[in-house]
Structure 1
Amino acid sequence: MTYVGDRLRDALRTPWWDYQPLTPLARRFLVILAGVTLVLQSLFRATNVGPESVASAVVTTSITLAVALFAWRPPVGTLVLILVALTAAVTGVTDTLLAGAVPIGIVAFSCSVPLTIGYAIAWAGWLVASIIRPGSGFQPLGGIVISIVGLLSLLIGLAIRQQYERAQKLTLQLEATEREVAEQLRHERDLIADELHDIVAHEITIVALHAAVLERTEDTQTRSTSQTAIREAAVQALTDIRRVLGMVRGEENLTPDRLPSPDGLPGTIAVVTKELEQAGIEVTVDVPDDVRLPSASMVALIRVIRESGTNVLKHATGARHVRIALRVERGWVRLEFSDDSPPARTAGLPTSGYGIMRLQERFRLFGGSFRAARGPQGWVVSASLPLES
């Protein structure tokens, strides 16, 4: 009972001018039906020898035209039906009561509950007036039959409307589910793309650079160092590729909080420092020993360090010194990765700009800032994040 009462209260609070538009097919059918009915009514009046009051003809035609209005504005059609029912009750027209009972269903389907109740009351008043009017000749049994027809029409209209609204609700739920699935797929594709970018842009860059070193030098120690770096980067790339394939097959959970490095921030800095030093670049690290960061901030900063280190190897071949500085102050963590590379000196490796773009998106979502630009002494990457986001 509480559920029914709540539904009834919600229905009564619906704006009375709201309506459920008919489908194009239903509108065409309704217009054709109204046109055929008008033609048949005209033929009946032309061939009928018995008397028919003008009021009865006007009421019948008005009901037909009102039903036709439902093809465009159901509330307007309902208001016309209410006006016709009240006029018929006052003028004593009784032979069109059945014609007034049939549209109750379409009113219940297309119009608001207040308008439906309004027409039902107007039609019921027309029926009662016809029964109690002295000398009307209207039989109570006929009133019962017409009442049953009106009730059936009302129930059919309500049932169709309920099924229609349920279908609309299911359609909206299905669309929302499809959007959610599409968003999840997009998110997973972005995560996989991030992982693949890290592999290609980092390990493969190291392999390419040290392979170029092997071509240019005959120094035994340098060649040994480059061969070791190539072997370690290739093994790491194979390991990462297997992990990404496991993610694609569903063997590993896709989560944005998964750290790209098992050792976290210190391990990432150590790996990047080793790779840069193997390329002949001196690295200065200024990071507090006791730094504690949220997992999301840690992931973002690790990606900045890895991407910046890769970019130095790919695009800053003249760099001799790199500085990595991290500060936590006033609720913010700030990272600066700078080098002293001269302009227009690159390793000649292809670039897509994907890594920088994804970092900018990530920091914007976290409410932080990310900037990579050339300064007076070289490239400077600045990133900052709020500790509480």
Structure 2
Amino acid sequence: MTTVSASVREYLRAPFWAYRPLSTLARRTLIAVVAATLILDSLFRATNVDATNVASAVATTSLTLAVAVFAWRPPVATVALICMIIAASIVGVATSLLTAAAILGLVAFTCSAALTAVYAFAWCIWLFVAITNPQSGFQPLGGVVIALLSVLSLVIGLTIRQQFERAKTLAMQLEATEREVAEQLRHERDLIADELHDIVAHEITIVALHAAVLERTEDTQTRSQSQTAIRDAAVQALSDIRRVLGMVRGEENLWPERVPSPDSLEGALTTAVRELRDAGIDVEVNVPDELRLPNAPLLALIRVIRESATNVLKHATGARSVQIALYVEHDWVHLRISDDSPLAQTAGLPSSGYGIVRLRERFRVFGGTFEAGHRPEGWVVTAALPLSD
């Protein structure tokens, strides 16, 4: 009902010269009908010795030609019809009243409410003149029948217009819904890809590196530590995979504020420090004793810590020390992770660069900054996020 009311209000408020163009099929059909009408009317007048007078013929032909203009400019056609109706009223011709009544529906469908009202008013004057003029030979009962037909034509035209408006509105709503669904699907795919990247890039990296350690060492303690690390990483990977599968099945909401963080900030730092130290890298951590962060910055920083620790293990095999610094300044939280790795020593594991790209996009969305690159002192990652909206 609301949609119908809005459509009616829009129709009533439309500019005087506004119009709805006919479709290609409707234009072709209209032109064919007009052409057939002109040919049949000409043949009828040529073969009928009792044909009507010249004024009636001119009125009929003018009306038919004006209808053809609806194929291109309905307002121009309606104005031409109004002029023809006024001329017919003055001359006293009444032979085309029925055709003009039928055209009222076409005017209502294509033109504005104001122009339709002007046409209907002119047609009513023509009908009144025809009924009251004794020389026209027009009977009052015939006038009533034509008036009812004109009302029926008007109702049909407005109904068809309303259905077209409704179909247009529904099509726009459907298009907007499809865009929204596509955006939501893209967003959910990105979230799932983020989760899978964390699993593959982090846990599997741990497994691969410690599996390589098992191949190169015979030290019992080192082998035990590597086996423990492999087991813990595999268990964590299975847990994360189950969580991602739950997201795919719709058991968990995928919006960022509801995606459960894989760890607390302290837990993420502890895990990163342990994994780096297990790889023989010294780690220095500087974090305030009391630090409370909103969920969005907290989750983003945890991802940076996990991604940076993974990248050190994968690409910085020459690193001997890592520094992690976290501090708050002027309502911004800053994180800096650096190592002393040489430029070209890596663990030989494949890299897609996906993690860095996604982190940069995430920080840009949150209004923060993210930079990662190799400097003279080693690989450096800097990230900053505002603590307020």
TM-score range, shorter chain: over 0.9
Aligned to 2:234: 234
Q: How much has 1:381 moved relative to structure 2?
A: 1.1
The answer for the alignment partner of 1:331 in structure 2 is 331
Q: Is the 8 A contact 1:203 1:234 kept in 2?
A: yes
Distance 1:97 1:293, change over 3 A: same
Alpha carbons 2:287, 2:325 under 8 Å: kept: yes
1:166 aligned partner:
166
Q: 1:78 to 1:27 in 2, by over 3 A?
A: same
1:81 is aligned to 81
Secondary structure class of the residue paired with 1:17: coil
Residue by residue, what CA displacement relative to the aligned partner does 1:308-338 show, whole Å, maximum 9, x if unpaired? Answer: 1111111111111111112222222221111
Question: Which residue is equivalent to 2:185?
Answer: 185
Q: Which residue of 2 aligns with 1:48?
A: 48
Cα distance, 1:39 vs structure 2: 0.8
Q: Is the 2:253–2:259 contact (alpha carbons within 8 Å) kept by the matching residues of 1?
A: no
8 A contact 1:259–1:299 mirrored in 2:
no
Whether the aligned pair in 2 keeps the contact of 1:261 and 1:268 (CA below 8 Å) is no
CA distance in 1, matches of 2:92, 2:207: 99
Residue in 2 that maps onto 1:288: 288
Which residue does 1:125 correspond to in 2? 125
Is the CA contact (8 Å cut-off) linking 1:371 and 1:381 kept in structure 2? yes
Distance change in 2, residues 1:323/1:3 (3 Å): closer
Call closer, same or farther: CA 1:237–1:4 in 2, change over 3 Å: closer
SS state at 2:257 partner:
coil
2:26 paired residue number? 26
1:257 aligned to 2:257? yes
Aligned residue for 1:357? Answer: 357
CA distance in 2, matches of 1:379, 1:3: 59
Aligned-pair RMSD on alpha carbons?
A: 2.1
Match of 2:272 in 1: 272
Give the fraction of aligned pairs with identical amino acids, expressed as a percent.
67
Q: Paired residue for 1:111?
A: 111
Matched, 1:97 2:101: no
Deviations 1:175-217 (A, max 9, x none): 2222222222222111111111100000000111111112222
Q: Which moved further from structure 2: 4-13 or 306-315?
A: 4-13
Aligned equivalents of 2:167 and 2:294: distance in 1?
A: 45
Report the Cα distance in structure 2 between the residues aligned to 1:263 and 1:236, rounded to whole angstroms.
Answer: 11
Deviation at 1:51, TM superposition (A): 4.4
The one-letter code of the counterpart of 2:347 is: A
Q: 1:5 to 1:24 in 2, by over 3 A?
A: closer
The separation in 1 between residues aligned to 2:250 and 2:303, in whole angstroms, is: 23
In 1, Cα distance between equivalents of 2:271 and 2:8: 67
Conserved? CA contact 2:105–2:157, under 8 Å: yes
Q: Distance in 2 between matches of 1:222 and 1:317?
A: 17
Q: Equivalents in 1 of 2:347, 2:6: separation in Å?
A: 71
Distance in 1, matches of 2:66 and 2:221, equals 97
Which residue in 2 is equivalent to 1:388?
A: 388
The separation in 1 between residues aligned to 2:274 and 2:362, in whole angstroms, is 27
Deviation, 1:11, is: 2.9
Give per-residue Cα distances to partners, 1:7-49, cap 9 Å, x unaligned: 7654332112222222222222111111111111111111121
Residues 354 and 40 from structure 1, CA distance in 2 versus in 1: closer, same or farther, beyond 3 angstroms?
A: same
Between the aligned partners of 1:25 and 1:9, the Cα distance in structure 2 is: 28
Return the offset for 1:243: 1.5
Q: Tell me the TM-score normalized by structure 2.
A: 0.94
Q: Is the 8 A contact 1:38 1:64 kept in 2?
A: yes
Measure how far apart 1:85 and its partner are. 1.5
Shift of 1:97: 0.8
Q: Note closer, same or farther for the CA distance 1:8–1:349 as it changes in structure 2 (3 Å cut).
A: closer
Specify every segment of 5 or more residues in structure 2 that has no aligned partner in the other structure, as ranges.
none
Partner of 1:36: 36
Distance 1:254 1:110 in 2: 47
CA contact (8 A) 1:261 1:267 kept: no
Alignment pair present for 1:303 and 2:303: yes
Paired with 1:82 and 1:259, the residues of 2 have a C-alpha distance of 67
Cα separation, 1, equivalents of 2:319 and 2:84: 91
Answer whether contact 2:263 2:302 (CA < 8 A) is retained.
no
**Change beyond 3 A, Cα 1:278–1:5:** closer
- After superposition, the Cα gap between the structure-2 partners of 1:8 and 1:235, relative to the gap in structure 1 and judged at 3 Å, is closer
Q: Give the conservation status (yes or no) of the 8 Å contact 1:108–1:157.
A: yes
Tell me which amino acid in the other structure corresponds to 2:55: A
Q: Which amino acid aligns with 1:136?
A: S
Question: How far apart, CA to CA, are the structure 2 residues paired with 1:239 and 1:4?
Answer: 52
What is the TM-score of this pair, normalised by structure 1? 0.94
Measured after TM superposition, the shift of residue 386 of structure 1 is 1.6
One-letter amino acid of the counterpart of residue 123, structure 2: W
Q: Distance in 2 between matches of 1:187 and 1:3?
A: 31
Q: CA deviation at 1:6?
A: 7.7
Cα pair 2:7 2:162 within 8 Å, conserved: no
* Contact 1:258–1:299 (CA under 8 A) maintained in structure 2: no
Find the counterpart in structure 2 of residue 317 from structure 1. Answer: 317
For structure 1, list consecutive stretches of 5 or more residues without a partner in the other structure.
Answer: none
Amino acid at match of 1:24: T
